[in-house]
């Protein structure tokens, strides 16, 4: 059982997870995003663009050690990139990625 993927699914069901590059970028620019996560097989161009946007807006970006397919199944829709809009959920995802070596903070 993958706690990180289960938790991402919980975030989605709670309405605190935004997916899709344009929507994720918009939440970062509007100051709504607490954390951005990307799949390990996200394109380098997408990673670079989001990394710049997150850095400019002081939002942490984590590259998960999970594929787009794994994340998509967990959240119930295609998700190579995702933004967490709740501080508590974001802190839990950070903790899970650190404790389970589930990703790398960029």
1 pLDDT above the threshold of 90? no
The CATH code of the domain at 3-105 is: 3.30.1330.30
| Contact yes or no for 47/38 (Cβ under 8 A) | yes
> What is the 3-state composition of the chain as percent helix, strand, coil, each rounded to the nearest 5?
50, 20, 30
pLDDT in tens, 11-51: 999 999 999 999 999 999 999 999 999 999 999 999 999 99
Condensed to tens digits (0 to 9), the pLDDT of residues 47-71 reads: 999 999 999 999 999 999 899 999 9
Cα dihedral 69, 67, 8, 17 sign:
negative
How many CB atoms are closer than 10 A to CB 91? Answer: 13
Q: What is the reported pLDDT for 3?
A: 87
Residues sharing a CB contact under 8 Å with residue 99, sequence separation 6 or more, in sequence order: none
């Amino acid at each position: 059982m993958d706690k990180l993927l289960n938790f991402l699914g919980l975030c989605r069901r709670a309405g605190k997870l935004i997916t899709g590059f344009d929507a994720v970028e918009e939440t970062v620019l509007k100051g709504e995003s607490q954390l951005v996560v990307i799949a390990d097989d996200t394109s380098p161009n997408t990673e670079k663009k989001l990394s710049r946007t997150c850095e400019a807006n002081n939002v942490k970006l984590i590259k998960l050690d999970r594929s787009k397919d794994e994340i998509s199944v967990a959240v119930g829709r295609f998700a190579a990139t995702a933004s967490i809009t709740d501080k508590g959920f974001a802190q839990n995802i950070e903790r899970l990625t650190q404790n389970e070596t589930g990703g790398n903070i960029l």
